[in-house]
Every structure is written in structure tokens, then in C-alpha cells.
Amino acid sequence: MSKFTLRFAAVGLAALFCTAPALAADPPPPPGGAAILSWTLDQQKYGYRNMEKLNPAHVVKRGDHVRALPVARTAIDPTWTWQGQPQTLAGYMAQMRTSGVLVLHDGEIILERYGLDRGPQDRWTSFSVAKSVTATLVGAAVKDGYIKSLDDPVTAYIPQLKGSAYEGVSVRHLITMTSGVKWNEDYTDPNSDVAKVGFSTDEAGVNPVVSYMRKLPRESAPGAKFVYKTGETDLVGILVSNAVGKPLSTYLSEKIWAPFGMEQDAIWMDDIAGHERGGCCMSMTLRDYARLGQFTLEGGKAGGVQVVPDGWMADATAEHVKFPAGSGVETGYGYFWWLIPHGYAAEGIFGQEVIIYPKEKLVIAINSAWPVASDPKLWAAQAAFAEAVRAAVR
């Protein structure tokens, strides 16, 4: 990894609880589809807040009550050193193009800040944070008896995968990214699998994601190799909706969004067949990102009801895949959850993250508009900020 030093301007730290300034005039709407991977900053600032205006989407309906997020009596004002340079929250947000940071400690807000013309009522896209939501819906479907076992074959729930490289692949293999099917997740390559999956139809009556995925070759035995595959999380979304017999957005509303008390409807982007993409692009407010983290921290209960099986969250965030030492910020992988030192996280490209530190009862929600989809140096800088927050409450 190349040496990386963040140099922040010396700016004063504004009030920790504030609303954003008035929104600037919106630019022309940016293009949707795979073009999202190459948006400019102005296009990101508009597009990430308005995904439902650019692509078809389902609504995840909120319920009749909102779970309060009390403001703690004591706020935190983290400062830290990164690569030998002193850091402040204001400088970090400016350098990292952050649209929002919210920290809950024991369910109370100890820090809330906005940037990039965003305010508390503005949604922001999640990108792959949605994967962790989809995995949680797998747990709900297991609890409800729609999915009998994680060791069931994928073809039992998506019969159109029979005869493909997904023969012999289990639900567990999919949610740990260990199917053994070959895949290219290069966000900079317009011909990569991640750029092409779900955006064309060439088989009538077959979901375009399923159609694309069932043509892929196998490269290793199921369970033998971890390869990050957004297309397979889209498959898991289809698997869940097939199993429960309703759209993902409806099931999510019924199981979590309404009973837990999310403050706004969420938006879930569709594929071209009109099915929510299990691997991408839910949009919600910053506070609802934090509530989502709080839901997992509390073991998967909503409205006093256990939504996922007892012990599911511990199992979902256990080390089902271990990464080699020094391979990055993350130490391993669970059920569409990244494992990090002292906790676990849902992560999305361009700097979206919900971090949970169970021991400290801490949730950190971060939304950003990074200039590149993913860079180990940026993730390391974000991890250093998260550790500074964790240190501030210990």
C-alpha cells in the first residue's frame, strides 16, 4: 500500500448538532444505471439524495411511530492523529467529502453533523450497505420458516439456476461470498460483471440478474474461496422474495422499518425487471442508518419482537471467512457483514458505512461522496476516524 497522508485545512469545529445550510440549486440530473460509477461531485451531491428520481425504485414504508433518538447530555468532539497529522472532525469531513456523520452511544446521539448541502431530512444512497440489510432479511425468513436452512441449495428457491454453476451452492455459500462462481467486481471497468449485471434482458421470463448469473462459469468448489460479488447479493434478494412471496420492500417494512420506528420511508432501487436489488442502493436518512445499526446492536428486535432467530446477529457477524493479516481494514466476513477490529460494519462504495462496536454500545453512521468507488487508503482513513470516536467513549 502506498504511503497516504491526509492534510486537513485548519478550520474551526462548528456545533456538533446542526442543520445543513440552504440547499444550492440542483444541477441537471445525472445519468442513471452503471454511469453512477463515474459521476462528478456535483452529480453525486444531487444523485445520492435523489436516486428514486433517476432509477425505478420501491418504497419501504415507515410505520405510525418513530423511535426517538435522544440527544445525550454530553457530546463528543473527537480529535486524533493520522499519518502524523492532527485531525479534527470538520477537517475530516471536508477532506473525505462527507455528507453526514451520526454517532449513537447506548441509543443516544453524541454527535451529528452534515455536509455537502445535506440536511437531516435528506436521504442518501447506501450502495452496498443494502447487502447487510438483505442478509438480515434472510434471517427474518429463517425465523418465519420461509427458508428452512442456510444449507438448503440455492436452486430450491431460484429454480432457474438449475444446471448452472450454482448447482451445489447453498444459501450459506451465497451470504458468505463463497459460491465458487467466477466474478469481476472492478468498478473502473465498464465491461466488468458488476457494471453489466442486471442492466440487459436477453431471456424472456427470466429476471435479468438471474439470466446473467446463470451464465457465469465456476472457478472453485463451493466454500473454498471468498470473492466479493454484488450480483450474488442481488440473487439473495430474489431468493428471499421468492421464499416469502412478497417484495423485499414490503417484507422489510413489515419486519423492521415500521415496527422499529424508522422516521422516514426508505427507497430501494430496482433492477430493470422491477425487482429490488438485494446488493445495492437503498436510500434513507442518516438517522435511519443509525437506527438500522441500533437494531442490529440490540440483537435484531423490533417493537419488542425478535425478528431474526436468537443468536442470528452474533452468527451473522462471526468470522465465517478470515482474511490474511495485512490485507486491509477488514479482518473477515460474516453474512454480508464486514468484520473489523472490535466490531463489524456494513459498507458501501464511495464511503458509505454503518459501524457497530458492541462492547461500547456504539453505532457510527457515515455517508460520503468519495472521488473513487473504493480505495484502501480512504477506508483506512475512515477507520482511523471511527477508532477516534470509539476512544472518545471508552
Asked whether 305 and 259 are in contact (CB, 8 A), the reply is yes
If you average pLDDT over residues 324-340, what whole number do you get? Answer: 94
pLDDT interval class at 153 (50, 70, 90):
very high
Write the pLDDT tens digit of every residue in 333-366.
999 999 999 999 999 999 999 999 999 999 999 9
pLDDT interval class at 190 (50, 70, 90):
confident
If you average pLDDT over residues 307-335, what whole number do you get? Answer: 96
CA 150 to chain centre: 21
Sign of the dihedral through C-alpha 285, 287, 289, 292 = negative
CA dihedral of 281, 283, 288, 291, whole degrees rounded to 10: -10
Whole-angstrom Cα distance, residue 378 to residue 297? 25
Between 201 and 169, the higher pLDDT residue: 169
pLDDT above 80 for 24: no
pLDDT interval class at 270 (50, 70, 90):
very high
3-state SS class at 254: helix
User: Which of 351, 237, 361, 350 shows the shortest CA–CA distance to 290?
Assistant: 361
Domain segments of the chain: what residues?
33-130+247-393
- pLDDT of 37: 84
If you average pLDDT over residues 275-302, what whole number do you get? Answer: 97
CA 148 to chain centre: 26
- As a whole number of angstroms, the longest Cα–Cα distance in the chain is 61
pLDDT above 60 for 22: no
pLDDT above 60 for 23: no
pLDDT above 70 for 278: yes
CATH 3.40.710.10 fits 33-130+247-393, yes or no: yes
Q: Where are the beta strands (DSSP E) in the chain?
A: 57-60, 79-82, 85-88, 98-105, 108-114, 124-125, 266-269, 282-284, 301-302, 305-306, 321-322, 332-333, 338-340, 343-348, 352-357, 362-368
Q: What are the grid coordinates assigned to 4, written together?
A: 497516504
Whole-angstrom Cα distance, residue 221 to residue 347? 27
Contacts with 57 (C-beta within 8 Å, 6 or more apart), sequence order: 51, 267, 268, 269, 270, 276, 283
- pLDDT of 3: 32
Whole-angstrom Cα distance, residue 146 to residue 357? 31
Q: Where are the beta strands (DSSP E) in 25-155?
A: 57-60, 79-82, 85-88, 98-105, 108-114, 124-125
Write the pLDDT tens digit of every residue in 366-385.
999 999 999 999 999 999 99
Burial status of residue 358 (CB atoms within 10 A of its CB: 0-12, 13-18, 19 or more): middle
- pLDDT of 182: 97
Q: 284 pairs with which residues across the strands?
A: 124
Segment among 31-45, 156-170, 342-356 with least mean pLDDT: 31-45
Q: How many CB atoms lie within 10 A of CB 336?
A: 27
- pLDDT of 27: 67
Write the pLDDT tens digit of every residue in 91-104.
999 999 999 999 99
pLDDT above 60 for 13: no
